[in-house]
Amino acid sequence: MSLFLGRIHYIMYEKIIFQEDILENLLKLLDEEKSAKLKKELDRDFPIERGELEDIIDTSNIHGWLDSRVVRSENRLARAVSILLKDFDLEKIKNKFFEMGKNYNGGKTPFEAFTFITSKFLDGMPCDHALAILKNDKDELVFTVTRDVHESIWKNYIDPQNYWILRDNFISGSLESSNIKFEKIDEKYILRK
């Protein structure tokens, strides 16, 4: 357990806030009244504090505090997507993720794209080692998911594969203006020039 805030703690909190930004953008698909109602429910059931990390974190339990916020954020997004799927088909939500991704620069090399992915998405705590690189050269990087930390939460709401479908669309959007191709073949993700 950490006794002080380190760089990794700030990175984890930034990932939580990134996912919260995705959630807020997703809620724009709903009309104002439905969006406000859902946001209120999510804030009640799975609150996420915003502010300077050193001002809001429980410094006596840094790892536990961050871990619980990761779980809350994951529940917030999964529940929101499950509710959105009652009003919209998956294609509409996939397109929204792709459009959101276009607001980011996913990188110009395969390794930069992988670094972008690992710097943004909540694949558990760093000790979870959820992604593993299988190949890394200047023109191609291949990685796999060694531990799906999203499934245990998403399965409570909808098919957990929806998480990966939406995430992949976001990543594709972030790479649209680059020369990097992103695809999944079997259980491997490929980023190539």
Query: Topology of 110-192 in CATH?
Result: Hypothetical Protein Ta0175; Chain: A, domain 2 (3.90.1070)
* Per-residue model confidence (pLDDT) at position 1: 42
* Phi, psi torsion values for 49, nearest 5 degrees: -80, 145
Q: pLDDT digits over 120-175, tens only?
A: 999 977 777 899 999 999 999 999 999 999 999 999 999 999 999 999 999 999 99
Residue 135 is given by DSSP the state E
Q: Is the pLDDT of residue 24 over 90?
A: yes
Q: pLDDT digits over 39-96, tens only?
A: 999 999 999 999 999 999 999 999 999 999 999 999 999 999 999 999 999 999 999 9
At 141, which amino acid appears?
Answer: L
pTM value? Answer: 0.94
- Domain residue spans of the chain: 7-101, 110-192
What DSSP element (H or E) covers 181?
strand 181-185
* Per-residue model confidence (pLDDT) at position 4: 82
Give the pLDDT band (50/70/90) at residue 98: very high
CA distance 34 to 40: 10
Q: Which residue is associated with the tokens 């690189």?
A: 133
Phi-psi region of 51 (alpha: psi -120 to 50; beta: other; left: phi over 0): left
> Hey, is 82 helix, strand or coil?
helix
Quick one: tokens of 140?
């191609």
Q: pLDDT digits over 1-11, tens only?
A: 445 899 999 99
